[in-house]
Chain A
Amino acid sequence: MPGMPWPLPWPFDTTYMQLALIAGLAVGASAPLIGTFLVQKRLSLLGDGIGHVAVAGVGAGLLFGTSPVWTALVVAVVAALALEWLRSRGRTSGDLALALFFYGGIAAGVVLAGRSATNANLQPYLFGSILTVTENDVYTVVALGALIILAIGLTRRGLLAVVLDEEAAHVAGIPVGVLNALLAALTAVTVAAAMRVTGVLLVAALMVLPVATSRVVARSFRTTTLGAGAVGMVAVVLGLAAARQWALAAGGAIVLVAVVLFTVASIAAPFRRGRARDDAGALLSGPG
């Protein structure tokens, strides 16, 4: 990218750390936006299931010598739409459908990668390799992240109505099926975008943990969503710093920071909630 390395302080003073930072921030901001709706719809594990299915796409990419991100994106989107179709028709229970895709996807990925002539390694895609991202990877991740943020920005009102009450949303003429399918497809896009950052096996953590953290402190759905994006970005910055300082696996470090942030917020919550309850009590004791 032009002028890299930019004059940023440690630990982002080198080109490879700056590329990692940009890719990480794109995923850290966008994955929790999707997660806010998934968590509320009790579909927290959808990202995990689709992440496993995406392994089949990675395997196909390695076998055919194309970019694994794009093949994983196609496979993940198709699988996400199929899962949503099964769920919406009640054809099979949600966890059973997930398990079917989960194991089928990862098994296909291992088989396909094993057939690859280049003896390619699945590991960078399973657990991420953010410190080796190229400029082209960064452009791809930023484009996918921007797509997710734009799509959520445009549909968030309708998605919230669906989350609140699917039946009432249907009666109000909101296209519930289309929005549910869109959310599933965006989950798949997130998995593909996060593949080089946390890896497909840890991507769901970035969709769910920042939301759980944000929900502890935020007062509205809007602030929960924005707060989750902020928590995701903080986890990326601190995780990358820790990875550089102690030579840790960056994807794992980012997720561990997200776990720590959630733990700290949960421990601090009772104090904050007590204060909020006092405020609410004063309001509720008034007329109304």
Chain B
Amino acid sequence: MKTSVANPVLSAEGISFAFGAHRVLEDVELEVSPGEFTALVGPNGAGKSTLLRIVLGLLAPQAGRVELFGASPRRLPDRWRLGYVPQRPRLAPDLPATVEEVVAAGRLAKQGWWRRARPADRAAVGHALESVALEGLRTQRVVELSGGQQQRVLIAKALASEPELLILDEPIAGVDAQAQRLFRDSLVHLLRDHGAAVLLVSHELGAVADDLDRVVVLRRRVLFDGKPGDLAATGVSLGVHRDDLPRWLEELTENGGT
């Protein structure tokens, strides 16, 4: 089950939220430790997106408390410590921006949005592009790339500020197997070489299932929080039965199984 840590990069306690009479989140707890690779999984409508918006400071919880690096998400002083990769289809189809321009925009949290790029900023952008294997396409218009490549551009954009916590929202939905492998390599590079924590929010885990340190299964409440091995020991494979997981776990919880 969940292990408490001294200085988590992300800590959410007793989070509840409802849209009118419809309860979306109920007493949710979530912690992410430095350098930890955590997946928050659950079917569509499980409350993942709402929890994500609360964690990012875009939505205020109706009950409970969130801290990023010990501060409220809305008052976090060093915003660069948090990297955020939104779902894919956010780039306007007629956007006349290059891959490098999009990634450089991700550096602004550290560089200062009004400042010129210094050599260190340009190096960080170059490194972010290398880590997603896109350095050869830096002058390409971003909208001319494939869906998987665009996803990697957005990851590089989030990496450009050299974050200590990277949060990704449904990053592998609809991305082909090869792109998933490249995506996985980028995340493993971030975890191993930079010691950053990663929180992956998804309804499927695909290529990254074997690299996870922790899995949190959400369906309005947290149904499982622990090591993937412990989850696997219950007879459920993340790779195969991912969509059925929460219902299965709920039944298990009701029977006192977990």
Contacts and interface: CB of A to CB of B under 8 A. Distances in A.
A117 interface: no
Interface in B92-127: 92, 94-98, 101-102, 104-106, 108-109, 113-115
Interface stretch (A24-32, A83-91, A92-100, A217-225): A217-225
B58 A286 contact: no
Given A155-B114, A173-B79, A167 B86 contact: yes
Contacts of A172: 79-80, 84, 106, 108-109, 161
14 contacts: A40-B96, A154-B114, A155-B113, A157-B113, A160-B105, A161-B105, A164-B102, A165-B90, A172-B109, A174-B108, A219-B139, A220-B98, A220-B139, A221-B98
> Secondary structure at chain A's binding surface: helix, strand, loop or mixed?
helix
Interface residues of B, number: 39
Nearest to A171: B84
B165 to A, nearest CB: 11
A155 B163 CA distance: 23
A169 B157 CA distance: 11
Interface string A144-188: 000000000011011011001101111111110000000000000
Contacts of A170: 58
Given A172-B108, A219-B141, A167 B91 contact: no
A165 B136 CA distance: 24
A286 B84 CA distance: 29
Given A172-B79, A172-B161, A221-B96, 7 more contacts: A40-B92, A155-B113, A168-B157, A172-B106, A173-B76, A173-B109, A287-B133
B134 interface: yes
A242 to B, nearest CB: 29
Contacts of B161: 172
A161 B108 CA distance: 8
Interface of A: 40, 154-155, 157-158, 160-161, 164-165, 167-175, 215, 218-222, 224, 280, 283-284, 286-288
Contacts of A171: 56-58, 79, 82, 84
B96 A218 contact: yes
Contact of A160 (B101, B109, B114): B101
B140 interface: yes
B26 to A, nearest CB: 25
Contacts of B114: 154-155, 157-158
A154 B101 CA distance: 16
Nearest to A36: B96
Nearest to B133: A288
A169 B82 CA distance: 12
Interface in B20-56: 56
B136 A287 contact: yes
Contact of B136 (A158, A220, A288): A288
Interface of B: 56-58, 76, 79-80, 82, 84, 86, 90-92, 94-98, 101-102, 104-106, 108-109, 113-115, 133-137, 139-141, 144, 149, 157, 161
B84 A168 contact: yes
Nearest to B57: A171
Contacts of A154: 114
B167 to A, nearest CB: 9
Contacts of B109: 172-174
B56 to A, nearest CB: 5
Contacts of A224: 96
A198 B86 CA distance: 41
B95 to A, nearest CB: 7
B58 A167 contact: yes
Tell which of A165, A222, A284 has the most Cβ of chain B within 10 Å. Answer: A165
Given A164-B97, A170-B58, A221-B97, A283 B91 contact: no
Contacts of B56: 171
B138 to A, nearest CB: 10
Contacts of A283: 136-137, 140
Nearest to B129: A288
Contacts of A164: 90-91, 95, 97, 102, 105
Given A157-B114, A167-B86, A171-B56, A219 B105 contact: no
Tell which of A283, A286, A287 has the most Cβ of chain B within 10 Å. Answer: A283
A3 B222 CA distance: 79
Contacts of A221: 95-98, 101
A218 B144 CA distance: 14
A195 B114 CA distance: 30
A221 B95 CA distance: 8
Contact of A219 (B79, B86, B98, B115): B98
B58 A220 contact: no
B43 to A, nearest CB: 23
